[in-house]
């Protein structure tokens, strides 16, 4: 049984990116520049964005953080997006989600210039991904592909069950794993809240991608012997023994399934650290004009 060390993998990828940035600098090329827009004071969003900015510094990218109050109007945010679209020094940018309720997230996503959409959320990028054209891949699925590749996990011909059909994780993951690609060629089942007999589906899975957002949802009785488990969940459960009063657990009952699986990602330290690497890799691609 192998525990997939996302933390170490992320460190390795960042070190590789830092080397690439050094050679760009040495050759007098343009330093990749990522901008992040953070609206309001959602604690989780603050921590994610802080991590993105810190990661930029670690690999030698330039970064710009634009913070605005929760009360910003939709028009004012659209203006910020427009400025970033036009700023030649910014290679890529993200608008951290969720946004306040009075702002239409879809409208903001559509306003981002696809060639700067390093989150890969714009329908232009999503559509290109679905058709196997060059595109920015969304961070979490891209990070998972990296994990599968770097741990030499065979995907071709395997049966993969993705649980959860979000636009950010489940749906793109199901498309990517079924594509004709080195990490792909899976037979994919996309399971969701209306799936009739989920256990029957997961018991057939060689690979399970759990992205439901429910603590310890996937239990040992749902897992086939030798399965590969990728746990995307980050759920808070009360824990009085912790100073902050909670601990983080995944969507999978980690301890319960451990003796059955061939590979598993832990929470924390699995998929999470990989997502920011994906964003960095997309930003490097943006600065080199590799996608568009
Ligand atoms: N909120 C949660 N995950 C993400 C992400 O990957 N990108 C953005 N922009 N917002 C998020």
Give me the domains of the chain, ranges plus CATH numbers: 28-113 (3.40.50.10860), 139-272 (3.40.50.720)
pLDDT tens, position by position, 245-279: 999 999 999 999 999 999 999 999 999 999 999 99
**pLDDT level of residue 217 (50, 70, 90 thresholds):** very high
Tokens read off for 91: 């290679």
CB contact at 8 A, 206 and 224: yes
Condensed to tens digits (0 to 9), the pLDDT of residues 45-67 reads: 999 999 999 999 999 999 999 99
The pair of structure tokens assigned to 182 is 């080195």
Which of 91, 96, 117, 285 does the annotation list as catalytic?
96
Instruction: Tell the residue nearest (CA) to atom 3 of ligand 1.
Output: 97
Strands 235-238 and 92-95, how do they pair?
A: unpaired
Quickly state the pLDDT bin for 152 (edges 50, 70, 90): very high
pTM metric for this prediction: 0.96
33 CB-near residues (< 8 Å, 6+ apart) = 61, 62, 63, 64, 89, 90, 91, 92, 283, 287
* 146 annotated active-site: no
97 lines ligand 1 (CB under 6 A): yes
How many whole angstroms from 97 Cα to the centroid of ligand 1? 5
Cβ of 137 closer than 6 Å to ligand 1, yes or no, is no
Tokens of 259: 């003796």
Q: Whose CA is nearest to atom 2 of ligand 1?
A: 97
How confident is the model at residue 211, as a pLDDT? Answer: 98
The answer to whether 237 and 247 have CB atoms below 8 angstroms apart is: yes
């Amino acid at each position: 049984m192998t525990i997939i060390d996302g933390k170490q993998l992320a460190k390795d990828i960042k070190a590789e990116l830092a080397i690439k940035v050094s050679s760009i600098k040495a050759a007098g090329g343009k330093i990749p520049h990522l901008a992040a827009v953070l609206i309001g004071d959602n604690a989780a969003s603050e921590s994610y964005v802080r991590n993105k900015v810190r990661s930029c510094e670690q690999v030698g990218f330039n970064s710009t953080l634009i913070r605005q109050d929760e009360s910003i109007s939709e028009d004012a945010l659209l203006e910020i997006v427009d400025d970033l679209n036009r700023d030649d020094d910014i290679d890529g940018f993200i608008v951290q989600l969720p946004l306040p309720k009075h702002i239409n997230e879809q409208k903001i996503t559509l306003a981002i210039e696809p060639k700067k959409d390093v989150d890969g959320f714009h329908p232009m990028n999503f559509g290109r991904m679905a058709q196997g054209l060059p595109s920015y891949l969304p961070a979490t699925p891209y990070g998972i592909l990296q994990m599968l590749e770097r741990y030499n996990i065979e995907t071709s011909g395997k049966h993969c069950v993705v649980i959860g059909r979000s636009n950010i994780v489940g749906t793109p993951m199901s498309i990517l794993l079924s594509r004709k690609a080195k990490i792909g060629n899976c037979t994919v089942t996309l399971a969701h809240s209306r799936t009739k007999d989920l256990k029957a589906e997961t018991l057939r899975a060689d690979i399970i991608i759990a992205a439901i957002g429910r603590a310890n949802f996937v239990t040992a009785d749902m897992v086939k012997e030798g399965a590969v488990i990728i746990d995307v969940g980050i759920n808070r459960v009360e824990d009085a023994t912790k100073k902050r009063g909670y601990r983080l657990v995944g969507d999978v009952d980690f301890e319960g399934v451990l003796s059955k699986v061939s590979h598993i990602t832990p929470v924390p330290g699995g998929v999470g650290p990989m997502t920011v690497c994906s964003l960095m890799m997309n930003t490097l691609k943006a600065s080199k004009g590799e996608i568009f």
